[in-house]
Amino acid sequence: MTRLLYTALLLLLTPLALLRLWLRGKGNPDYRKRWGERLGFVPLRPKRQRLWVHAVSVGETIAAAPLLRAWQAAHPDWALLVTTTTPTGSAQVRRLFGDSVEHCYLPFDLPWLVALFLRRSQPSLAIVMETEIWPNLYACAQRRGLPLIMANARLSDKSFKAYRRLRWLVAPTLQRVALIAARGREDAERFVALGAASSQVEALGNLKFDLERSPQVVAAGRAWRDWLGKERPVWIAASTHPGEEEQVLAAHRLLLEQQPQALLLLAPRHPERAEAVLALVQAAGLQPLRRSGLSPAPQLPPPGLPAPSTGAVLVIDTLGELMAFYAASDLAYVGGSLVANGGHNPLEPLVLDLPVLSGPQVFNFREVYAELQALDAVTLVDSAQALGQAVAAAFESGVPSPTANPAVASWMRQNQGSTARLIERAQQLAGLST
């Protein structure tokens, strides 16, 4: 009965969801494409062993990449299907894996749509990244005998409180999952409190610690830095949100008073906001440069292109290049944290040995930030002025290398290995020898 009520409500909201896709298509036309997949009409897949991984968008796709590559290496006879819900996630899948994996959008969580999706895609094992709780999808998977794993599962304070109010719906949904691979002990305890059986939940660690330091990324970063200027200070504000870019630009203006050659790379979380961000740069009295206007991604700047002038801000409006621009920078501000978005992944710049600055709103990565603070490996700021002062101080005193601290390097090593643990458990559920 509870799932019936949920389905009825979702059915009423589906036209609004389609309208939202259409409206978002103003900024990114890909939102108006491939609607058949969102209604379950995905490509018909041939019958074979198939691992299906669902990664909502770009961040989850990046986190899933080591898992997917390891599975490809261990089981080359298996097909890999990756679903996303956003066009940016779709583009990231193609950028990382090309045609070596299958891709489609995940349909809306209506029982007849997810049943059609599963019939046509024919997965043998399912892994859902992060905390995606879909009652009808999970019920249909259980009915088909499809083992389903929630990987890198986490519950922030906010989401835990919200799900606790919906425990009548969440508990039976979680009980249909074969394995909840939680990021840590606190997350595991919260899933049990929401109704999962303790036998279903294991704290296997955070997959994001297994992020790869790609030689290709490092080489691309070096090439970009050669163009940007090796001697000038370069910092990046990554994954920023509305209301945050203004603060970052104000901080950069403060920095320019002390370091007039300093350059800011500004990467909004959603590249379709590039026009609005470029307008903010202009309004701040700075010179806006657009990454996509330099060369087609992922190509490097063409030979002979003049370096950015004093007062320039390079807005990164392309997909799949954030790690390269981290590698081109001296230090990183990780966004979503001077506004109440909960922050983004600080491990991405850390793996490239960049000092990390962040705002105080980091509830999505609370445990990671707490440990980084204990290691003195992150600087938290609460205003544009504090951010500008922190960046200026770092450049004035010499930007430190976080992993030069043995404690930081050891902490990162100790937290690695969750991908291997997850694959071992997935193989067991799939009936494969390990």
Kindly list the catalytic residues: 60
Cα distance between residue 70 and residue 419, in whole Å: 8
Q: Cβ distance 350 to 356 under 8 Å? A: yes
Cα distance between residue 192 and residue 324, in whole Å: 39
Cα distance between residue 398 and residue 400, in whole Å: 6
Instruction: Tell me the C-alpha to C-alpha distance, in Å, between residue 40 and each of 22, 116, 145, 192.
Output: 18, 5, 19, 31
